[in-house]
Amino acid sequence: MPDIKADMIIVGAGLSGLITAWRCLDVHPELNVIVIEASDVVGGDHTWSFNMSDILEHLQDWIKPFIAHQWDDYDVKFPKRKRRLEITYCTGNSDTLRACVQPHIESGRLKVMSGTQALDVQPYHVVLENEQRLSAKCVLDARGFKPNDDVVLGYQKFVGHVIRTQHPHGVKRPIIMDATVEQLGGYRFVYCLPYSETEILVEDTYYTDGSELKSQEVDARLKDYIRDSLGVKNYSITRREIGVLPITLAVDEAFGTDVSGEKTEPAKLGMTGGYYHAVTGYSLPEAVKSANVVCDMIEKNKPDFGAAVLHEMAYHRVDHYHEEKFLRLLNRMLFRAAKPTERYKVLQRFYGLSEGLIERFYRNRLTKLDKLRILIGKPPVPVSNALKNLSESAFLERERK
Ligand SMILES: Cc1cc2nc3c(=O)[nH]c(=O)nc-3n(C[C@H](O)[C@H](O)[C@H](O)COP(=O)(O)OP(=O)(O)OC[C@H]3O[C@@H](n4cnc5c(N)ncnc54)[C@H](O)[C@@H]3O)c2cc1C
């Protein structure tokens, strides 16, 4: 079989793969891209939420076609704090993501090979399960999350029900965290996204040490919450989603700063490259950031941009490792220093800080002063536990024993 050739190959038609294809094809009219997807469904069946301010400023207009719902503000609720934050909140989904790349598929510049598993993924070529070989100026690996021994994780787990109610449900804006619910085995909160007056996503979320999720028990708690807290009696469930997202507590520095693979490995995108917010496990803003890096490298190094993309993305991963250091520290405080049923106090205190700081936290652009503000004051965790978990390397050493 002769090689199939393209300018760029992306393995994985999930969030990061399609966002990168979309951005690069929008900006570079001469580019052609192949995306290889193992499943039959391109773009999966997901919703992805984010603060508008999480997105690089110059891409906030560009991302708009992806947005299915947008709200001007949202609420958080804790036993001792209720607050409204005037931060624009957005949600996109698999349908809007597919619609964003569709014009490029129709123009023939984006070829999506679904139902096709890539077996061997190299920096400049890919071999498929039928032994077909594809080559390109560079290959990007967007195959989704893979755990490894150099990273210590906690988990954010959730079950969500999208419900259609017979009468208006009365929730006017998103409730990003309702932590007034019973705390069970970790930090628990319910997340509500009102898509319309009669359609709402209600998600029961747990920050716990292990990844196991008893989803039927969570289904039953969701039913109670919908009845008792939202006061909704007549409804049907139109969609159910389950998620187990990694929350990073520590990364081995040697692994986090390793760029030795820049010439021997494909560039990584999305969860497989560790590109998610360490505290929330959310990856959309990072997917946009990585897409921007790839796009800029193509621009600066046309027409032979391949090696430059691989090089820059290897260092982008190192930057991400350093940028998330403080977030990993906060996770160690949340998961190891606080008692499981008192973890909510860390967030209750955090949401008392300024709105600008909260935005910068989700954007992962905290200033030194912000970090001080988060750490000083009466700590909601025992001081001895906090001190014990300060050092990332000592923590890793203990966890590995
Ligand atoms: C239920 C749920 C809700 C989430 N909600 C949010 C949210 O609201 N906001 C947010 O920012 N993040 C959210 N996340 C986290 C994260 O953004 C998503 O997991 C996101 O889809 C990750 O993007 P990705 O491109 O890294 O991986 P994925 O989207 O998982 O895509 C990986 C793709 O690679 C394909 N693949 C794997 N191996 C191969 C192979 N060998 N050959 C070809 N194809 C292959 C897979 O089939 C898949 O389609 C959520 C996650 C889940 C699970």
- pLDDT digit string, tens, across residues 233-283: 999 999 999 999 999 999 999 999 999 999 999 999 999 999 999 999 999
pLDDT confidence tier of residue 386, bands split at 50, 70 and 90: confident
- Given ligand 1 and candidates 48, 69, 161, 284, which is best to mutate, with the most ligand atoms within 8 Å of its CB? 48
Give me the count of residues in the chain: 401
Distance from the CA of 143 to the center of ligand 1, in angstroms? 8
What's residue 308's pLDDT?
97
Closest by CA to 8, choosing from 137, 157, 184, is 137
- Given ligand 1 and candidates 9, 10, 15, which is best to mutate, with the most ligand atoms within 8 Å of its CB? 15
pLDDT confidence tier of residue 4, bands split at 50, 70 and 90: confident
Distance from the CA of 336 to the center of ligand 1, in angstroms? 27
Buried b (16+ CB within 10 A) or exposed e, 319-354: ebbeebebbbbbbbbbbbbbebeebbbbbbbbbeee
DSSP bridge partners of 205: 158, 189
Average pLDDT of span 320-327 = 97
Residue nearest to atom 15 of ligand 1 (CA): 282
Q: Are 60 and 70 in contact (CB under 8 A)?
A: no
Q: Which amino acid is at 196?
A: S
Strands 267-268 and 47-51: unpaired
Residue nearest to atom 10 of ligand 1 (CA): 282
Instruction: Return the percentage of the chain with pLDDT > 70, whole number.
Output: 100
Average pLDDT of span 175-186 = 95
Residue nearest to atom 21 of ligand 1 (CA): 15
What's residue 378's pLDDT?
72
Q: Tell whether omega for the bond before 303 is within 30 degrees of 0, i.e. cis.
A: yes
DSSP bridge partners of 153: 248
Q: Which residues contact 57 (CB under 8 A, 6 or more apart)?
A: none
Q: Are 26 and 56 in contact (CB under 8 A)?
A: no
pLDDT, tens digit (0-9, with 9 covering 90-100), for 46-92: 999 999 999 999 999 999 999 999 999 999 999 999 999 999 999 99
> What one-character DSSP code corresponds to residue 67?
E
Q: Which residues contact 391 (CB under 8 A, 6 or more apart)?
A: none
What's residue 18's pLDDT?
98
Average pLDDT of span 114-136 = 97
Distance from the CA of 44 to the center of ligand 1, in angstroms? 8
Q: Which residues contact 159 (CB under 8 A, 6 or more apart)?
A: 203, 204, 213, 215, 218, 219, 222, 240, 241, 242
Helix (H) or strand (E) holding 356: helix 355-363
> What one-character DSSP code corresponds to residue 335?
I
Closest atom, ligand 1, to C-alpha of 272: 26
* Mean pLDDT, rounded, of the chain: 96
| Binding-site residues, ligand 1, Cβ < 6 A | 11-17, 36-39, 44, 46-50, 117-118, 142-144, 241, 243, 245, 270-272, 281-284
Distance from the CA of 15 to the center of ligand 1, in angstroms? 6
Distance from the CA of 43 to the center of ligand 1, in angstroms? 8
Does the domain spanning 151-249 belong to CATH 3.40.50? no
Q: Decide if pLDDT at 376 tops 90.
A: no
DSSP bridge partners of 69: 91
| Longest alpha-carbon distance in the chain | 67
Q: Are 21 and 111 in contact (CB under 8 A)?
A: no
Q: What residue spans define the domains of the chain?
A: 4-70+90-148+252-323, 151-249, 326-400
What's residue 62's pLDDT?
98
Q: Are 20 and 140 in contact (CB under 8 A)?
A: yes
pLDDT confidence tier of residue 3, bands split at 50, 70 and 90: confident
Closest atom, ligand 1, to C-alpha of 116: 43
The region of weakest confidence among 21-25, 199-203, 261-265, 288-292 is 261-265
Average pLDDT of span 7-21 = 98
Closest by CA to 336, choosing from 293, 376, 395, 260, is 395
Residue 97 is encoded by which pair of tokens? 């993501």
Q: Decide if pLDDT at 382 tops 90.
A: no
CATH class, 4-70+90-148+252-323 region: alpha beta
Residue 245 is encoded by which pair of tokens? 């997202």
| Rounded Cα–Cα distance for residues 254 and 315 (Å) | 13
Structure pTM?
Answer: 0.96
DSSP bridge partners of 189: 205
Q: Which amino acid is at 312?
A: E
What's residue 357's pLDDT?
98
